Chains A and B, each alone.
Chain A
Amino acid sequence: MAQTPLPITQPHSGSPETPSVAEVLLDAAKTSVLKVQDYSKLSFRSLTNLATAPRYMQDTLTQMDDIGVGSLPIVLLSGFFIGAVMVLQTGAQFERFGQSSLTGDVVSIALVRELGPTITGLLVAGRCASGIASELGSMLVTEQVDAMRAMGTDPSRKLVSPRVLATLIMLPLLTTISVFVGLVGGMVASVFSLRLGATTFWERAIAILQFSDLMQGFSKSVVFGFILATVGCYQGLNVRGGTQGVGRATTQAVVVSSVLIIVADTFLTKIALFLADKVF
């Protein structure tokens, strides 16, 4: 029997030359383009999967419960106080011109068009995009995703599509609740701080809203839901580097989805204002 220890394999020797700055930048650009391509493909598949069997409705319902019902407390709390603080901030300005009754109009439009969908989107992104990324990331590093594939299940159908569909359904609902609670919060603040009548506030808040405002808020919440779910899934299914990678993916999911929501908000607002002029 041989007594010598097993020879240690020499590490694969790469090129000794240090890459130039241009090469590094080119590689970084290629990597970014590939990531965008992979993200786009995953997002597209998450929707096309819904058109054909198998569909995982039980998983979708579970996710709707987790994403929707689970997010309700933070949405209720934040919605109420955002509505209240909006009234406090704007009411003080309107009082200077003796137009404090306009507070309801402004708060209502701001909540429906902008603050409701955006704040709800950001809050749910913080809670759910991170949760999705860490859950899928943990499954990936423990080979559960491979096990799923080995048993003939498409992870994009089983893991991604139910989460995307659940978020697409639940975020508009959460936004609606958030806006309603925000108006209640605003009403309470206006009654106690501005001495406005609750009925006056409420009537003005409802009367000022037009169909285009509702569509703007609704479409934003759908797009934000799609962004946060797909970014969470993409980050989770692309974890590299074990549990440390799961942590990185979780952070990335929140950061990327939050930034994308804010960027998308700008463009959606522009489009919605254009359509409000031309269509509605």
Chain B
Amino acid sequence: MADFPNSSTLAPQTTGEAVIQFSDVRIGFAEGEILQGVSFTAQPKETLVLLGETGSGKTLTLKIAAGLLRPDSGTVEILGERVSQMSERELLVLRRRAGFVFQEGALFDSLTVGENVAYRLHEDHENEEEIESRVREVLEFVELDHTMDQLPSELSGGMRRRVAIARAVVNRPAIVFYDSPTAGLDPITSQTIITLILRLRDIYGVTALLATQRLQDGFALANFYFDSASRRVRRDKRREKPRAVVTRFLVLRDGKVYFEGSPDDLLAAKDPYLQRFLI
């Protein structure tokens, strides 16, 4: 797999402060209140895995974090900016510093793969040569550089998700939000997607908020790391040592944070509800 050549050019992380902070966030619709006071934080370079049943509010949490939805109450801070009180115009600027991978990819179906990935760079008025090289680079990273001129409809579901990841990280964002990136995919393709997420985290130190129903996605991120020297994914035997990259779990239930902790805490949990995720 190819890597970005300039990992040092990543957007600067907020050091020492939470890059994602939810405080008593509530949102409801006609059918009732979905999030009922959700609070959590994510530190720089941390991967926070959101687990929960269907309808527990995982996608809502991600969309609120990205400023795509406004909470009814509570505060949300992303990269030190209070998104819950920003105008849409201000949010548009902030969102350029974050990437969002939608559940079904949400690729622009009338644009080719290359145009989809280049979209954000065109919006930023980068010069054509820079766009061409960045798009090729990021498509090589997801191993889809040969699909540059194809339309999304000509790709498989897994390939579309990989293009969506490429599009989300093409401008090297500090945070990436993943909405069920492996939902509906076969185990091998899911593994490819998780490996990509893992490489983005370990090479570029991207802070991630990942919503999923698959516990194994979270444990894969917690138990494996990408070794840049050997360029391979390896089992993390350093779990007991403090690491710059941390994976934590957050379980949502009935609109609230039901559990928050490390993979080991989750494995050790005696709670019957949490144990159902471990079956």
A residues near B, CB below 8 A?
Answer: 1-2, 6, 9, 12, 54, 139, 142-144, 146-147, 149-154
Given contact pairs A2-B272, A152-B93, A147 touches B106 in the complex (Cβ within 8 A): yes
A12-B31, A150-B68, A154-B88 known; A144 and B123 CB under 8 Å?
no
B109 interface hit (Cβ, 8 Å): yes
Assembly CA distance A154 to B123 (angstroms) = 11
| A149 touching B68 in the complex, CB below 8 Å, given contacts A6-B53, A142-B106 | yes
A149 to B63, CA, bound (A): 11
Chain A contact residues: helix, strand, loop or mixed:
loop
Interchain residue pairs A-B with the least CB separation, the first 8: A12-B32, A150-B100, A143-B106, A147-B106, A152-B96, A152-B95, A2-B272, A152-B92
Q: Are B279 and A1 in contact (CB under 8 A)?
A: yes
Contact between chains at A147 and B32 (CB < 8 Å): no
Q: How large is the interface on B (under 10, 10 to 19, 20 to 34, 35 or more residues)?
A: 20 to 34
B66 within 8 A of A: yes
Q: Which listed residue, B63, B120, B254, B279, touches A152 by the CB 8 Å rule?
A: B120
- Asked whether A154 lies within 8 Å of B254 as measured between CB atoms, the reply is no
- Is B275 close to A, CB under 8 A? yes
Cα-based distance from A86 to B108 in the complex (angstroms): 46
Also in contact, A143 and B104, with CB within 8 A (given A153-B123, A154-B88): yes
Q: Are B279 and A142 in contact (CB under 8 A)?
A: no
Contact status B92-A147, CB under 8 Å: no
Interchain CA distance A80-B66 in the complex, whole Å: 53
- Which of chain B's residues have a CB closer than 8 A to the CB of A154? 88-89, 92
Complexed CA–CA distance, A144 and B92 (Å): 15
CA A142 to CA B167, docked complex, whole Å: 16
Judging by beta carbons under 8 Å apart, are B254 and A2 in contact?
no
- Contact in complex: A151, B88 (CB < 8 Å): no
Please determine whether A144 and B120 come into contact, CB atoms closer than 8 angstroms: no
On whether the beta carbons of B68 and A151 are closer than 8 Å, the reply is no
CA A68 – CA B88 in complex, angstroms?
A: 32
B106 engages A146 (CB within 8 Å): yes
The answer to whether B120 and A146 have CB atoms under 8 Å apart is: no
Q: Is the CB of B104 within 8 A of A151?
A: no
| B278 lies within 8 A of chain A by Cβ | yes
Contacts of B120 in A (CB 8 A): 151-152
Question: Chain B, 99-113, contact with A by CB distance < 8 Å: what is the 0/1 string?
Answer: 110111011110000
Extra contacts besides A12-B31, A147-B100 (20): CB < 8 Å: A1-B275, A1-B278, A2-B275, A9-B53, A9-B55, A9-B254, A143-B104, A144-B108, A144-B109, A146-B63, A147-B107, A149-B68, A150-B98, A151-B96, A151-B120, A151-B123, A152-B95, A152-B96, A152-B123, A153-B92
Pick from B92, B104, B107 the residue with the most CB of A within 10 Å.
B92
Report whether A151 and B119 are in contact in the complex, using a CB–CB cutoff of 8 Å: yes
A117 to B258, CA, bound (A): 62
Contact status B123-A146, CB under 8 Å: no
**Docked complex Cα distance between A9 and B31 (Å):** 13
User: Which of B53, B95, B167 contacts A149, CB < 8 Å?
Assistant: B95
> Once bound together, how far apart are the Cα atoms of A143 and B93, in whole Å?
20
- Whether the pair B109, A150 counts as a contact (CB closer than 8 A) is no
